[in-house]
Structure 1
Amino acid sequence: MPTSDDHTPRRPDDSDPFDGLVLDEDFVKGATSQEGSARSRRLAAEWQDRAPVDPGGRTWSPADPVSAKASRWLDRHGRLALTVLCCCGIVLSAVAYFVSARRLPAPAPHSHPFPLPPNRD
């Protein structure tokens, strides 16, 4: 089959192999494979030589052991921190409840916190 790079002219008696081909919707939907978008192919070709860089300037890799290690650390210690915070909240709520329940009655008006000495005239 001639290609666009092939500059030899076709003879009039050569038949075109695509003469009866109809590219309708059924033909397109019947495809067994799909080509990636131009952008995804360009990025894949770019990233073969160097890893992608985010706007902050950090490189990223899904197999990066540092990010996996940080994720594991957060999984373990994040649950622990959440548990400790919840327990502290429960304890503080209980203390506040019991302090408010044992509140002493208000002192009588004009009373002194300690007895006054008797008047000796």
Structure 2
Amino acid sequence: MADDWDDLVLDEDFIRSAGTSEPSARARMLAARWREEQPEPQPWRSEEPPAGWFFGRGRRRRWRRR
């Protein structure tokens, strides 16, 4: 019995041509959360660096040649 899947080639062209119709898990989670309560507006840039900022002034001083 011949199978319809025998002639199918799953190469890169096939994969790239496939359309996506399902949102990511993160997008679904945020959509569900935002349905209950709208998010507060966030500034585009913050005055403070993010927590755990790697490139601080103290670190630059240690690596500078004298």
Q: TM-score range by the shorter chain?
A: 0.3 to 0.5
Higher relative contact order (CA 8 A, sep 6+): 1
User: Scaled by the length of structure 1, what TM-score is found?
Assistant: 0.24
Give 1 or 2 for the bigger CA radius of gyration. 1
User: Scaled by the length of structure 2, what TM-score is found?
Assistant: 0.36
